[in-house]
Homo-oligomer: A and B are copies of this chain.
């Protein structure tokens, strides 16, 4: 499951070839979890060895890739920094509104984006409560098993949803998780009707979560509030949903407004 995952390297017209190739290599290393040797990479992306070697050298000099003592290549710390900044920038616009949500509702609020076929949490404002959700920023999770993920999926084409479900798979972290594409599609329809997604202990037992997509965002984005089922109940939802709705609207307009 490695020679087909990276379908060579997409070359879009008007793009700079070497840059596209360079990121193809990064993708390739990212997919082959851990290190990847030169020839291993050459097998995946379809390029002559010297070319790959030269590109990798450049990336190593840039600190984006690090070369292991056994000559293998791995993603380097430079990417940690860039990724961190990228995430915080995405989250930065949303943060003040998340803070309001937390202040108002007393539960943790999150922003997540879709990357590839997974959800990535880009920012979180944790509640002050003792027992609270512990969703690390940067964590990745399956779309169908999270509130934010389902909220995002509900805004995509059905075929795109199928494709994501197919490539990422549909594991069921708990017995409440959605397990089949049929169920998922029905669930997404419900989400579209009511305007928000519910994660009913689907990601973790005892945790309920309300999520909503940010309309017209530059990247697929959703926000959520989550907490233990004991506190996050119907009464909570009645207070939370309008707040989520207005937060989503404001974030959306902030993002369109630039800065």
- The chain A residues found within 8 Å of chain B, CB to CB, are 12, 14-20, 22-23, 26-27, 30, 33-35, 54-55, 57-59, 61-64, 66-70, 72, 74-87, 89-90, 92, 113-116, 118, 120, 122, 126, 130, 134, 136-140, 218-219, 255-259
Contacts and interface: CB of A to CB of B under 8 A. Distances in A.
A255 B35 CA distance: 11
23 contacts: A12-B61, A16-B18, A16-B22, A16-B58, A22-B22, A23-B62, A23-B64, A30-B82, A30-B85, A30-B86, A70-B259, A74-B90, A75-B85, A75-B89, A76-B86, A77-B115, A77-B122, A77-B219, A80-B86, A80-B120, A80-B138, A81-B83, A83-B86
Contacts of A138: 80, 83-84, 87, 137-138
Given A70-B258, A255-B69, A15 B61 contact: yes
A66 B219 contact: yes
Contacts of A74: 86, 89-90, 218
Contact of A84 (B72, B77, B83): B83
A258 B120 contact: no
Nearest 8 interchain pairs by C-beta: A83-B83, A70-B258, A75-B86, A79-B86, A15-B58, A81-B115, A84-B138, A16-B58
Give the oligomeric copy count.
Answer: 2
A183 B85 CA distance: 31
Nearest to A51: B16
A114 to B, nearest CB: 7
Given A35-B259, A80-B138, 16 more contacts: A12-B61, A14-B57, A17-B18, A20-B61, A23-B64, A69-B256, A70-B256, A70-B258, A76-B86, A77-B115, A80-B86, A80-B122, A81-B120, A83-B87, A84-B139, A130-B130
Contacts of A59: 19
Contact of A67 (B17, B77, B79, B218): B218
A49 to B, nearest CB: 15
A90 B80 contact: yes
Contacts of A136: 136-137
Nearest to A75: B86
Given A69-B258, A84-B138, A16 B62 contact: no
